Amino acid sequence: MKKLIGPKKVKTAVFISGKGSNLKNLIKFSRFKKYPFSINLIISNNKKAKGLKYSKKYNIEKKIIKYDKKLKTDKMILNFLIKKKIELICLAGFMKILSKNFIKNFKGKIINIHPSLLPKYKGLNTHLRAIKNNDKFSGCTVHHVTSKLDTGKIILQIKVKIDKKDTPETLAKKILKKEHLIYPAAIKKILN
Ligand code: GAR
């Protein structure tokens, strides 16, 4: 892969809690000239998150945060992001809710990917809920983050057909593939 990080890329932090396939994918796209962002920081609330391995692999700084006192923790992250001159935050499987104050300070510059067709199925277990309701379609959404869970303005959304044979696991896999298409495209969309 050619490294094409130019001087004008928007400095981005990716927040994760788990596997980090979206993080890995965003790193890949950030290296293409057409995509105007660079991944400069990985933040995780979970020191065992598998996705943290991409810090070493791609030589990106990581920070693991302990979430005992939410407001204090959020203030600490905020200061750290400012110090690192981070301009955009991408939540990618980050399973903590950020405080109002934190979001206010990064207004319009925090986005999230969610595995459903929002406003349907905010929160957890989205695939199971879509299947149980006999929905014909599910999908994924990239949206701006506000202080209310999974509610901000939608940037991009992709539909995925639910087959009769689908289980929450097979549906999750199909949707994750589409997540890897829309997340970089959504960032490009808001930055261009
Ligand atoms: C993704 O499916 C993402 O949409 C979901 O967690 C998964 C993370 O996968 N996010 C949420 O459920 C947020 N509410 P990844 O760690 O492989 O990117």
38: tokens are: 């660079």
For residue 17, how far is its CA from the centre of ligand 1 (angstroms)?
9
User: Do 45 and 68 form a contact (C-beta atoms < 8 A)?
Assistant: no
Give residue 83's pLDDT: 97
How far apart are the CA of 92 and the centre of ligand 1, in A? 6
Ligand 1: list residues with CB < 6 Å.
16, 18-22, 51, 92-93, 113-115, 176, 179
User: Do residue 61 and residue 142 come from a single domain?
Assistant: no
CA distance 97 to 74: 10
Q: What is the CATH number of the domain that holds 166?
A: 3.40.50.170
In the listed set 107, 132, 153, which residue is the last one of a domain according to the structure? 107
Which residue has tokens 């925090």? 110
Number of domains in the chain: 2
Query: Taking Cα atoms as reference points, which of 24, 57, 9 lies closest to residue 187?
Result: 9
d(CA 77, CA 75): 6
Q: Which residues are paired to 38 by β-bridges?
A: 11
Q: Is 155 contained in some domain? A: yes
How confident is the model over 152-175, as a mean pLDDT? 98
> Quick check: pTM over 0.85?
yes
In ligand 1, the atom with minimum distance to the C-alpha of 17 is 16
All residues at 6 or more sequence positions from 87 whose CB lies less than 8 Å from its CB, including other chains: 10, 11, 12, 109
Q: Which of 107, 127, 160 is the last residue of a domain?
A: 107
Per-residue pLDDT reduced to its tens digit, 86-143: 999 999 999 999 999 999 999 899 999 999 999 999 999 999 999 999 999 999 999 9
Alpha-carbon distance of 141 to 164, in angstroms, equals 23
Whether residue 65 is predicted with pLDDT greater than 90 in this model: the reply is: yes
Q: Looking at the DSSP assignment, which residues form a beta bridge with residue 16?
A: 44
Among 107, 138, 163, the domain boundary falls at: 107
Ligand 1 atom nearest residue 179's Cα: 4
Answer whether residue 3 is part of any domain.
Answer: no
Residues classed as catalytic: 114
2-42 confidence digits (pLDDT tens):
455 556 899 999 999 999 999 999 999 999 999 999 999 99
DSSP of the chain, one letter per residue? Answer: ------TTPEEEEEEESS--HHHHHHHHHHTSTTS-EEEEEEEES-TT-GGGHHHHHHT-EEEE---SSHHHHHHHHHHHHHHTT--EEEESS--SPPPHHHHHHTTT-EEEEESS-TTSS-SS-HHHHHHHTT-SEEEEEEEE--SSTT-SPEEEEEEEEPPTT--HHHHHHHHHHHHHHHHHHHHHHHH-
Q: What range does the domain containing 48 cover?
A: 9-107
| Distance in angstroms (rounded) separating the CA atoms of residues 52 and 43 | 8
Model pLDDT, residue 7: 60
Q: Where does residue 142 fall: left (phi above 0), alpha (psi -120 to 50 degrees), or beta otherwise?
A: beta
The number of angstroms, rounded, from the C-alpha of 121 to the middle of its chain's C-alpha atoms is: 17
Res. 152: pLDDT tops 50: yes
